[in-house]
Amino acid sequence: MKIAVLPGDGIGPEIVAEAVKVLNALDLDFEMESAPVGGAAYALTGHPLPEATLKLAMEADAVLFGAVGDWKYDTLDRPLRPEQAILGLRKHMGLFANFRPAICYKELTHASSLKPELVAGLDILIIRELTGDIYFGQPRGRRIATDGHFPGAEEAFDTMRYSRPEIERIAHVAFQAAQKRSKRVTSVDKANVLETFQFWKDVVTEVGKEYPDVQLDHMYVDNAAMQLVKEPKRFDVVVTGNMFGDILSDEASMLTGSIGMLPSASLNSKGQGLYEPSHGSAPDIAGKNVANPLATILSAAMMLRFSLNQEAAAQRIEDAVQAVLAQGLRTPDIWSEGTTRVGTAEMGDAVVAALR
């Protein structure tokens, strides 16, 4: 089992170090190799996704990824910015299926900005298509307009597009995930306005006929954004495109109290996966031993389950995380009166201790 470890920028190295600590405590036979990515890689090599890093990732069974991005690099040309590293990995590895669970742990119900009764027991799985849509659609660029409201003016444009096979494969992923849960899928679109998402809705509906045991409903993205804060527990599996999924998954994560708790998995058709916390690189708190490593530790658990076929080990990690929460240990992002404040490394140590 070969794991490529890509810590990245900001808090990435600190939180990944804790996940590696936890993996090492499992006594399984891993080969782990690290490489720079994002701004850290740009500073070393002049490129956010160096050839050698990409090669390591492509050859591994799984990638454990921290986070990329730092305000320092915001003025670089787009192809050199840290974000291009994660977009490049998604594209080159074909990581089209992104799983973003939003689970509200009972100990953290009060950390949510919503009323406890709205979020207690919340367990949503957002499945975001990750290699298509307006993120990757060509053509894109800047030009002088020849039509539109201001012919002759400078303009920028991107292309929203989805092919039938792209929609079919993510729909299958969603229906199959739902079969293992409460057998409900909500497909989120904007079919009332966009051709791309009328097609999305049509194709998801067709694929749904192959899963008569799963109940499918459709929702416009604006309504979905509203329902997520109004009545989040009405959702189970949510499947949507790349851009809507980007936005809705951040919204869903906040329902749970802290984005610092949420893992994610991005899979290709070969079972290879990239595992990363749902949050970003948080450069403002980097190096201060205050970042919450639990999202990354839980991402390592997803890695064991989805790419390394180690369900028992995955469950052990998830149980250990539950145990440290039950002990009252909290990093500052989830701290509340009456609980014990700990740092990044102490939280990792506590999870290791709970494993034993």
List residues binding Mg ion (CB under 5 A): 246
- What, of ligand IPM, Mg ion, none, does residue 346 touch, CB below 5 to 8 Å by kind? none
Shortest CB 233 distance to ligand IPM, Å: 23
Shortest CB 264 distance to ligand IPM, Å: 8
Q: With respect to ligand IPM, which residue has the nearer C-beta, 49 or 354? A: 49
What's the rounded Cα separation, in Å, for the pair 242 and 296? 22
- Residue given tokens 């291009």 in the structure block: 84
Shortest CB 132 distance to ligand IPM, Å: 12
Shortest CB 279 distance to Mg ion, Å: 9
Q: With respect to ligand IPM, which residue has the nearer C-beta, 41 or 86? A: 86
Contacts with ligand IPM in 52-111 (CB under 6 A)?
Answer: 83, 86-87
- What, of Mg ion, ligand IPM, none, does residue 286 touch, CB below 5 to 8 Å by kind? none
Q: Write out the two tokens for 167.
A: 């929609």
Shortest CB 349 distance to ligand IPM, Å: 28
Adjacent-strand bridge partners of 273: 62, 267
Task: State which residue has the least CB distance to ligand IPM.
Answer: 83
Cβ(98)–Cβ(264) under 8 Å? yes
Q: Write out the two tokens for 89.
A: 């990995």
190 is catalytic: yes
The one catalytic residue among 61, 70, 133, 190: 190
Q: With respect to Mg ion, which residue has the nearer C-beta, 103 or 248? A: 248
Cα Rg of the chain (Å, integer): 20
Shortest CB 271 distance to ligand IPM, Å: 21
Q: Long-range contacts made by residues 171-175, C-beta under 8 angstroms, separation at least 24?
A: 171/203, 171/204, 171/207, 171/208, 171/239, 172/207, 173/97, 173/127, 173/239, 173/267, 174/127, 174/237, 174/239, 175/207, 175/208, 175/210, 175/211, 175/214, 175/216
250 is catalytic: yes
- What, of Mg ion, ligand IPM, none, does residue 123 touch, CB below 5 to 8 Å by kind? none
Q: With respect to ligand IPM, which residue has the nearer C-beta, 1 or 87? A: 87
* Residue 171 neighbours by CB distance under 10 Å: 25
The one catalytic residue among 135, 162, 211, 275: 135
Q: With respect to Mg ion, which residue has the nearer C-beta, 104 or 259? A: 259
Per-residue contact flags (x/-) with ligand IPM for residues 238 to 267, judged by CB under 6 A: --------x---------------------
135 is catalytic: yes
Q: With respect to Mg ion, which residue has the nearer C-beta, 123 or 246? A: 246
The one catalytic residue among 222, 270, 288, 319: 222
| Contacting positions for ligand IPM (CB under 6 A) | 83, 86-87, 246
Residues labelled as active-site residues:
135, 190, 222, 246, 250
